[in-house]
């Protein structure tokens, strides 16, 4: 994109849209380079002049802070969860949810890890505790919606099953994928839905 075309497009773009566009271009670069990423690299990826970055952000550190905040936002994974077809079998829905959540946590971890390892310690980089709680509640509600079509077949309310599902999943995702005995996504879903025993529960 030329500087001329950028100037033609700029009047139609709000400051908020411009910031979002810059952050979207910066995220993969930050995940790869951490704080070593340059504003000229970000500008090239966004197809804008470098000066445009400093009209939208005070400095590069503010861009990095916003990249971390964006990576932590649940918007993307909520859209993925909402796109899972409800006419699939329940096990397939939950397996798809695992893959979506795994991708979200991987993206967030890549950005946070790159920034942390390269020395970014700004206090504003972490989301506030209430923001984390709101994000978790939104994810839980989205998973509960995936369970809703099978409410009559569940022994517990979808919201409670969703909380148990997320607790089981996040504990699993903290472990390396190649750790011996680490369950596959389909196994996690099977354990959640049917338990670990082959006997009927009434036998206890």
**How far, in Å, CA of 131 to CA of 124, rounded?**
13
Alpha-carbon span 192 to 195, nearest angstrom: 6
Residues 9 and 98 in one domain: no
- Is residue 37 within 8 Å of 53, Cβ to Cβ? no
Domain end (from 43, 68, 93): 68
pLDDT in tens, 61-97: 999 999 988 888 889 899 999 999 999 999 999 999 9
**Do the Cβ atoms of 23 and 67 come closer than 8 Å?**
yes
Residue 49 DSSP SS3: coil
User: Whole-model pTM above 0.95?
Assistant: no
Which residue among 16, 41, 68 closes a domain? 68
In a shared domain, residues 63 and 77: no
Tell me the per-residue pLDDT of 102-122, one tens digit each, with 9 for 90 and over: 988 888 888 888 887 766 665
């Amino acid at each position: 994109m030329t500087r001329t075309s950028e100037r033609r497009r700029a009047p139609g773009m709000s400051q908020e849209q411009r910031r979002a566009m810059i952050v979207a271009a910066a995220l993969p670069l930050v995940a790869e380079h951490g704080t070593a990423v340059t504003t000229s690299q970000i500008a090239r990826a966004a197809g804008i002049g470098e000066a445009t970055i400093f009209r939208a952000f005070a400095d590069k550190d503010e861009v990095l802070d916003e990249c971390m905040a964006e990576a932590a936002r649940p918007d993307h994974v909520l859209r993925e969860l909402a796109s899972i077809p409800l006419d699939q079998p329940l096990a397939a829905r939950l397996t798809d949810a695992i893959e979506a959540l795994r991708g979200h946590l991987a993206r967030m971890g890549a950005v946070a890890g790159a920034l942390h390892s390269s020395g970014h310690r700004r206090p504003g980089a972490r989301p506030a505790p209430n923001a984390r709680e709101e994000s978790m509640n939104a994810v839980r509600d989205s998973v509960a919606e995936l369970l809703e079509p099978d409410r009559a077949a569940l022994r517990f309310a979808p919201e409670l099953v969703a909380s148990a599902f997320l607790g089981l999943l996040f504990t699993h995702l903290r472990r390396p994928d190649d750790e011996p005995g680490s369950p596959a996504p389909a196994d996690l879903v099977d354990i959640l839905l049917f338990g670990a025993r082959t006997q009927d529960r009434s036998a206890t």
